[in-house]
Amino acid sequence: MSWNTELPLIAILRGILPQEAGAHVQTLLAAGFDAIEIPLNSPDWRQSIGDAVRTFGDRALIGAGTVLQPSQVDELAALGAKLVVTPNTQPAVIRRAVALGMTVCAGCATASEAFNALDAGAQALKIFPSVSFGPDYIKALKAVLPPQVPVFAVGGITPENLHRYLAAGCVGAGLGSDLYRAGQPLERTAHQAAAFVRAYKEATK
C-alpha cells in the first residue's frame, strides 16, 4: 500500500466557505501541502470541493472528510474528488470509494476497526482522536498492523507534538484546528502551514 502524496500531512479545512476556500488551498499548496480535506459538515461543501478539484486537482489529492454514507461517496466522485476520509470504520463507504478509484483514509481506534477497514480496501488508516490515545497506544497498535499500511495521527496534532506521533510509527498526520479554524485569516493559515512543514522535515531528516 502507498500514500501518493509528496508530503504526508492532510490539511483539514473544516467549516471553510466556498468564497475563501480557493485562497486557503492555494496558500497550503504554496507551503508544500498536497493533500486537502474539506469535511462534509462544512457550509456548501459541494461548491468548495468542486471548485478546489477544478482549480488544484492536478496538483494535489483533494477530497472530503466526515464521509459517512455511500451516497456521499457517489457525490464526491461526480465532483472529481479523489480523497475520502472517514471518522469511523464503515465498510460500505470504504468499498464504494475504492470501487470508484478513490484513496480512502479510514478512521479507526482499535485493532478490530483497523483490520475491518483494511479488509474493506482502505489504503490508509487514521487513528482518531490521536491525542486522546497518545503515541504509546499508536505504537502498540502499529505492532499488529501490516507494516506497509500508512497510519495517520488525527486529532490534537500540533507542530510541537507531531514528532512524537511520527516516532510512534505514523507516516504523517491529519491537521485540523491547529492548522485551520473557520474564518481565520490567510496569514494564520500560511504561518501554521509553514510551522507544520518545518516540524515534519525536522522530525524526518
Residue entry with cell 473544516: 14
Proportion of the chain above pLDDT 70, given as a percent: 99
pLDDT 10s digits, 92-112: 999 999 999 999 999 999 999
Distance (Å, whole) CA 67 – CA 189:
24
Share the mean pLDDT of the chain: 97
Q: Is there a cis peptide before residue 129, judged by omega within 30 degrees of 0?
A: yes
pLDDT of residue 23: 98
Question: What digits encode the pLDDT tens for the residues 110-130?
Answer: 999 999 999 999 999 999 999
Per-residue confidence (pLDDT) for residue 48, from 0 to 100: 98
Residues 128, 107: contact at Cβ < 8 Å?
A: yes
Query: Once rounded to an integer, what is the mean pLDDT over residues 167-184?
Result: 98
Average pLDDT over residues 16-30: 98
In this predicted model, which residue has the larger pLDDT, 2 or 163? 163
Return the ∠ at Cα 78 (arms to 73 and 84), rounded to 5°: 35
Whole-number Cα distances in Å, 143 to 5, 13, 14: 24, 31, 31
Indicate which residues carry an active-site annotation.
37, 126
Q: What pLDDT is attached to residue 3? A: 74
* Homologous superfamily in CATH for domain 9-204: Aldolase class I (3.20.20.70)
pLDDT, position 2: 59
The pLDDT of residue 1 is above 60: no
Q: Residues 164-189: what's their mean pLDDT?
A: 98
What's the average model confidence in pLDDT over 176-194?
Answer: 98
Pair 55, 80: CB distance under 8 Å: no
> pLDDT digits over 58-84, tens only?
999 999 999 999 999 999 999 999 999
Question: How many Å apart are CA 164 and CA 185, to the nearest integer?
Answer: 29
